[in-house]
Amino acid sequence: MTDPQQLAEACAEAMFAKDYAAQHLGMTVEAVGPGTATVTMTIDERMINGHAICHGGLIFALADTAFAYACNAYNKVTVAQHCSVTFLAPAKLGDSLSAAAVERTLAGRSGIYDIRVTNQEGSLIAEFRGHSRTIQGALLPEEGQVE
Amino acid sequence: MTDPQQLAEACAEAMFAKDYAAQHLGMTVEAVGPGTATVTMTIDERMINGHAICHGGLIFALADTAFAYACNAYNKVTVAQHCSVTFLAPAKLGDSLSAAAVERTLAGRSGIYDIRVTNQEGSLIAEFRGHSRTIQGALLPEEGQVE
Amino acid sequence: MTDPQQLAEACAEAMFAKDYAAQHLGMTVEAVGPGTATVTMTIDERMINGHAICHGGLIFALADTAFAYACNAYNKVTVAQHCSVTFLAPAKLGDSLSAAAVERTLAGRSGIYDIRVTNQEGSLIAEFRGHSRTIQGALLPEEGQVE
Amino acid sequence: MTDPQQLAEACAEAMFAKDYAAQHLGMTVEAVGPGTATVTMTIDERMINGHAICHGGLIFALADTAFAYACNAYNKVTVAQHCSVTFLAPAKLGDSLSAAAVERTLAGRSGIYDIRVTNQEGSLIAEFRGHSRTIQGALLPEEGQVE
């Protein structure tokens, strides 16, 4: 598979099948490409914290998931090393959040990705920056490996 | 209530009663004090990501929860502004994680808290730094407010 | 002065006249606009550290200066609250560095700016993200204020 | 040289001899140990920015220098990968700043160091966290190497 877009989609499909965390939180991978991903999630009652707004950890989890699908789109296992997030406005029960990841730089095994989280009105909820590191392994079985 | 330790515990109790996110993820607030908190969580199947390890977003959520209980221990509603996390080792299915938050500085309405996440063997899983901002409101009903 | 571009240029001129740090380090404000700035600096011997490369603190200072001119372009005194930097490649003696700042978000008194530092070959040296806060005061004397 | 304290001091001496940036900014390495360092600097006129306070880049440079001496104390060349800084109060002309670095974690080639910058009154000016990476090479000539 040499088409980068097809490869990104195949990686996302393989990852999502085993991504029980993303599944359990009701996330949907709306789109993926080489170094990009958009993931959505609706805020339900189990995501509300003691201040009656969405738990920041779950907003982070959404952004981190978009980051993961963007940086794993090249069929090389890639993990998060360091992430930072700025919370700009609260997310509320029933909000539909969307996290859009873009690659800012990728050099060798290290990458930086920027993820913007917005709500259904387009208001900015959070800005996230993730630093990735490629490690050993591939996401897809190699072609012709099993016969 | 003027004893800082009692106040911290009352704030934590009031917050946790409505903290559906922490409850749903099986977190326990093990200890809380003025500017400190320890929160634990066991990694179960719904927390596993596409690389077969604990989703970084849920490790963040644990640390962020310890941060929240530490910075809300003064009965003033306080929210996260900016957080960063470094992932040092993977957490695995069945691991018991503990997040310990300490206050690094608190000046006026702005605070910095450091949270260390370790597993059942004491190995360091993640280092988290949170920046807090106190906003309007109290966590506990004022004494004598309701007749 | 109501033209945003003219206002940005006037703010930069007023700031630079008193910015002894930027002057002393040989920085030049190449361009400025509403929320944007480009600042350059050549690495000389007094910027070299014990590893025989440019001191990271001075690469940061260059990026931080571009950040300052970008976020002060609206004639409201604005300061840095929190910044992060990732060093991607070393800068060497004689390198001509350029830091380009763009505004990522500005809501009320809080802004986020991204600054990319490159060398004379266009290679990426550092990525910087700055969080700004607008405080009291203006950079320019108000029109008609002084008779 | 097997005594860790002696080794740290020898590394600092070797680094400082070539650290023209630290020298030029008038920094003094007050103390160093395995994973720790304290560096001081007095704010002079060439460090003042367009807001008439110390340029944040130079406060960063001081903290970054303490970080560098702390993480290079084991005679293995170690560089900064990622740093973040929070500015808590302005530093002014004539202030004597002190940056104290401690090692938060060191595992394999990756370390995290926390640096606190205070002024002559003990007031907190900035909090800095640095992520280090050990690369090839030693700071000191190997014993018996030259005969």
Q: Return the structure tokens found at A83.
A: 């992430």
D84 touches A: beta carbon within 8 Å: yes
Residue of D nearest to A131 (CA): D82
- Average the pLDDT over D101-110 and give the result: 96
Residue A24 pLDDT exceeds 70: yes
A105 contact D CB<8A? no
Gap between the Cα atoms of C65 and C37, Å rounded: 9
Residue A139 belongs to some domain of the structure: no
DSSP code of residue B1: -
- Which residues in chain D are contacts of A82 at CB distance < 8 A? 82, 131
Spans of chain B, pLDDT less than 70: 1, 143-147
Q: Minimal Cα–Cα distance from A32 to chain C, Å?
A: 22
Quote the tokens at residue B146: 């309701």
Residue D64 placed within a domain: yes
Q: Give the closest of A110, A127, A131 to C104, CB-based.
A: A127
Residue with tokens 């920046």, as numbered in its chain: B131
Contacts of C129 in chain A (CB under 8 A): 84, 129
- Inter-chain CB proximity A65 and B47 less than 8 Å: no
Which chain A residues are closer than 8 Å to B64 by Cβ? 55-57, 60
Find, in chain C, the residue whose alpha carbon is nearest to that of A104: C127
Query: For residue C125, what are its two tokens?
Result: 């040296």
C57-76 per-residue burial string, b: 16 or more CB within 10 A, e: under 16: bbbbbbbbbbbbbbbbbbbe
B104 in a structural domain: yes
Asked if residue D68 belongs to a domain, the reply is yes
CA dihedral defined by A21, A22, A24, A27, rounded to 10 degrees?
Answer: 170
pLDDT at C1: 64
pLDDT (average), residues D8-17: 97
| CATH number, domain containing residue C11 | 3.10.129.10
Q: Is residue B52 included in any domain, yes or no? A: yes
d(CA D39, CA C86): 22
Q: Which domain holds residue D50?
A: 4-134
* Cross-chain residue pair A105–C127, CB shorter than 8 Å: yes
| Total domain count, chain C | 1
pLDDT tens track for D29-86: 999 999 999 999 999 999 999 999 999 999 999 999 999 999 999 999 999 999 999 9
Residue C23: inside a domain: yes
pLDDT for D147: 36
Separate counts of helices (H) and strands (E) for chain C: 3, 6
Share above pLDDT 90 across residues of chain A, in percent, rounded to a whole number: 94
Cβ–Cβ of C88/A104 closer than 8 Å?
A: no
Say what angle helices C56-71 and C4-18 make with each other, to 10 degrees: 140
| Residue A127: predicted pLDDT | 98
User: Does B48 reach chain A within 8 Å, measured CB to CB?
Assistant: yes
pLDDT per position as a tens digit, A50-93: 999 999 999 999 999 999 999 999 999 999 999 999 999 999 99
Give the tokens for residue C18.
């008193």
Give C68's contacts (C-beta < 8 A, 6+ positions apart): C15, C37, C78, C80, D49, D50, D56
Residue from the list A15, A18, A50 with its beta carbon closest to the beta carbon of B16: A50
Q: Which long-range contacts (CB under 8 A, 24 or more apart) does A11-14 make?
A: A11/A69, A11/A72, A11/A73, A11/A74, A11/A75, A11/A139, A11/A140, A12/A37, A12/A69, A12/A72, A12/A73, A14/A139, A14/A140, A14/B50
With an 8 Å Cβ cutoff, is B65 touching chain A?
yes
Which residue of chain B comes nearest to D105, CA vs CA? B124
The pTM score is 0.95
Give me the pLDDT at residue C143, please: 59
Residues, chain A: 147
Answer yes or no: do A127 and C105 touch at CB < 8 A.
yes
Q: Does B84 touch chain C (CB under 8 A)?
A: yes
pLDDT at residue C144 is higher than 60:
no
For D48, counting Cβ atoms within 10 Å of its Cβ (0-12 exposed, 13-18 middle, 19+ buried), the class is buried
Tell me, yes or no, whether A142 lies in a domain.
no
Q: Measured between CA atoms, how close is C46 to chain A, in angstroms?
A: 29
Mean pLDDT, residues A8-36 taken together: 98
- Which of A64, A85, A49 shows the shortest CA–CA distance to A19? A64
Number of residues that make up chain C: 147
Is B91 a member of any domain?
A: yes
Shortest CA gap C80–chain B (Å): 14
Which residues does residue C69 pair with via DSSP β-bridges, in sequence order? none
B129 touches chain C (CB under 8 A): no
- The Cα-based distances of D115 to B62, D19, D120 in angstroms read 25, 19, 16
Residue type, A89: A
The pLDDT value recorded for residue C60 is 98
Structure tokens at B103: 């206050």
